[in-house]
A and B are shown apart, each in its own frame.
Chain A
Amino acid sequence: MAMDDVQVKDGVDAETVEAVKALSGAYKYGWNTEIEMEYAPKGLSEDIVRLISSKNDEPEWMLDWRLAAYRRWLELIEPDWAMVDYPKIDFQDQYYYARPKSMEEKPKSLDDVDPKLLETYKKLGIPLKEQALLAGVEAPEGERRVAVDAVFDSVSVGTTFQAELMKAGVIFCSISEAIREHPELVRKYLGTVVPVSDNYYATLNCAVFSDGSFVYIPPGVRCPMELSTYFRINAENTGQFERTLIIADKESYVSYLEGCTAPQRDIAQLHAAVVELIALDDAEIKYSTVQNWYPGDENGKGGIYNFVTKRADCRGDRSKVMWTQVETGSAVTWKYPSCVLRGNDSQGEFYSIAIANNMQQADTGTKMVHLGKNTKSRIVSKGISAGKAQNTYRGLVSMHPKAKNSRNFTQCDSLLIGDKCGAHTVPYIEVKNNSSRVEHEATTSKVDDDQLFYCRSRGMGEEDAVALVVNGFCKEVLQALPMEFAMEAQALVAISLEGSVG
């Protein structure tokens, strides 16, 4: 096992601190939707678990599963090993279920959805009309289309292109709908990648998850369009517990995008999601996330606490999963999208950009667990810290005795802006056979004044110069994103770092 911890501090740069203080209102999704909501009573108990289950019209087996998880959760202790520091969460001081009143009667189609909700997604740039694209991109000839599942607080508002996807045999719906309509698939796969007992937050999620997305791609099908889910937390004091399950059957392919935002509020909010991916023989899943939860203000007030368990099981031979994430938001991020490389010749890839500014804290990375023969994994992590933020890469590469001739390559780069932030790298490496190879490269650098001056002397403003240098630093990861997301992510990198230099 190797461990190194880098913290670079040099020079005194009072201007940076000033500039960071001056930063406010840079988060452009901080507005809130005025809408009549229906809440479950505050706090967590068996009754709340039963209530959530009944709101979703769930069958008995699902309720039993939830209750078992809840009882287990009561016995678990909140983990404290991550390099994040936050006030103790009072799990009884939260709402676990909140839905717009207008969603009480499930809308038959998108036309029946409350105009206020449609307006919300329009304002976010998320198309809930079936001809539109993601925001920021003009539709070219023969445009690429994206199917969207929109989740608002605890419920899915609607899913586009369902009928067209169904023609190809693709099931794309909210998880609550899947539990009702496709119980055989859900029962077969739910909890098989992230077991109920996995960890504190995952177990909590199993008990109280309210909605999320479900995808099934049948054998031999290449999903005809990109699928995406957009999560919006709107209600106050409400946790969002989403659950996503994606199954790519033999020889199928799917590219899935996830986006998320929340209003600007003074009180921190909890988000504990579980995402499970299953790739069978020769299947491939690309999962891309642009996480832009409200990060809190410059003094660390408010923001989302993001405790997420994402894991892919490359169950079949020659299966492939690629995680790409751009993490710009949240006050606290605790997230390790991982791959279990069970099938022989399976591949896992992880590309990550994690930006932490002001008082944000990010502890993120991946686990690549090599079980099958000739398995390959690749990790490219780019951490950017500014303000007083702390950014930690935590990763595990594990080669089991049977994972003969397996390979891993890890590249882990940190970039520091200013002198009050920190970057930490904590790689764990376990190799239990002698035919596998693991490579790890790590660098830490600063956006140096010479680079900024060089750009400025050519006519670029200071913030444009920072954005250019940082986007250059992230290039390998940005290239791994689908085009629409890459452009959004590039702009987001610039916005997230606004005011980070003085």
Chain B
Amino acid sequence: MLEIKNLCVQLEEEDKKILRGVNLSLEAGKVHAIMGPNGSGKSTLSYVLSGKGGYEVTEGSAHLEGNDILEMEPEERAAAGLFLAFQYPVEIPGVGNMTFLRTAVNSQRKLRGEPEMSAGEFLKVVRAKAKDLKIDADMLKRPVNVGFSGGEKKRNEILQMAMLEPKMCILDETDSGLDVDAMKLVAQGVNALRDGKRTFLVITHYQRLLDHIKPDVVHIMAAGRIIKSGGPELALEVENNGYADLLEETA
């Protein structure tokens, strides 16, 4: 599904290398997790893949189903099936959540040359999906993320993901700022989207999210590289011993 080869990235404004040759191969239908200490480049990886400005790719490639996504505009990547659940979802005052969702859904359809979703059909689908995530009618009417609690913002990200039905989902620290109940709700939302074909890349600091979203593969990232990959047990190892041992091993 997603092939990342020797991806090297630095900041555009200053000569600071952040990713130093990331290799990842995500098979369709699998859940991969990336863990790592602060500043290891996890969030940068998610931004570069989804097309945020301010970064320069100096080497390497990233292909989604064989298509070079680094050459695409952010909206084209979205239409091709890539989705990023933001660590800090952005507020858009005055724009109703529902309007935003509908604009997003229909923009993607337009880019793919598909017919737009009618207002009636959209309403039906969004209500059903919102209900599963315990998002009420009021939250759908309020402006995008404005005045939302931490938990509401993350649930809203998952609602967008459910509506847009991407092939490749990247979750950037979706567990940050969530209490246990909110995390469970978010994890349920994600698990409901696991259908054996959709691929997930879950970025997190903590093992606890992975108790709820069971990964197939766990990668440890440090200083802009994947330093170790393994099964779910690798996450437990980090939980118990911290990153220090692993960093020493590879130093």
Contacts and interface: CB of A to CB of B under 8 A. Distances in A.
B155 to A, nearest CB: 16
B90 interface: yes
A458 B104 contact: yes
Contacts of B79: 459
B93 interface: yes
B154 to A, nearest CB: 14
Interface string A457-487: 1111110100011011111100000000000
A450 B52 CA distance: 9
Contacts of B90: 450-451, 453-454
Nearest to B53: A449
Nearest to A475: B94
B107 A461 contact: yes
A456 interface: yes
B75 A461 contact: yes
A458 B164 contact: yes
Residue in B51, B52, B79, B90 whose Cβ sees the most chain A Cβ within 10 Å: B90
Interface string B50-94: 111110000000000000000001110111000110100111111
Residues of A contacting B: mostly? helix
B108 interface: yes
A451 B74 CA distance: 13
Interface size grouping (class) on chain B: 20 to 34
B93 A453 contact: no
B103 interface: yes
Contact of B104 (A449, A450, A460, A474): A460
B111 interface: yes
A487 to B, nearest CB: 14
Given A449-B53, A468-B100, A457 B93 contact: no
B160 interface: yes
B76 to A, nearest CB: 9
A474 B51 CA distance: 28
A469 B103 CA distance: 12
B36 interface: no
Contact of B143 (A456, A457, A460, A472): A472
B123 interface: no
A473 B99 CA distance: 14
A452 B107 CA distance: 14
Given A450-B90, A468-B103, A457 B95 contact: no
A473 B74 contact: no
B95 A460 contact: no
A461 B54 CA distance: 18
A451 B92 contact: yes
Contacts, number: 80
Nearest to A473: B94
A455 B95 CA distance: 11
A280 to B, nearest CB: 36
Residue in B54, B77, B93 whose Cβ sees the most chain A Cβ within 10 Å: B93
A459 B52 CA distance: 13
Contacts of B51: 453, 456-457
Contact of B73 (A455, A456, A468, A471): A456
A459 B78 contact: yes
Contacts of B99: 468
A459 B108 contact: yes
B169 to A, nearest CB: 12
A454 B52 CA distance: 9
B192 to A, nearest CB: 20
A456 B84 CA distance: 11
A125 B104 CA distance: 30
A485 to B, nearest CB: 18
B52 A453 contact: yes
Contacts of A469: 92, 95
Contacts of B84: 457
Given A456-B73, A456-B74, A468 B92 contact: yes
Contacts of A450: 90
A319 to B, nearest CB: 31
Nearest to A479: B94
Interface in B112-165: 143, 160, 164
A76 B214 CA distance: 80
Interface of A: 449-451, 453-462, 464, 468-469, 471-476
10 contacts: A451-B91, A453-B90, A456-B51, A456-B73, A456-B78, A457-B78, A458-B164, A460-B103, A461-B75, A472-B93
Given A457-B84, A460-B103, A476-B94, 16 more contacts: A453-B52, A455-B104, A456-B73, A459-B105, A459-B107, A459-B164, A462-B75, A464-B107, A468-B95, A469-B92, A469-B95, A471-B94, A472-B92, A472-B95, A474-B94, A475-B95
Interface of B: 50-54, 73-75, 77-79, 83-84, 86, 89-95, 99-100, 103-105, 107-108, 111, 143, 160, 164
The 8 closest A-B pairs by CB, nearest first: A472-B94, A472-B95, A459-B108, A458-B104, A475-B94, A456-B74, A454-B90, A459-B78
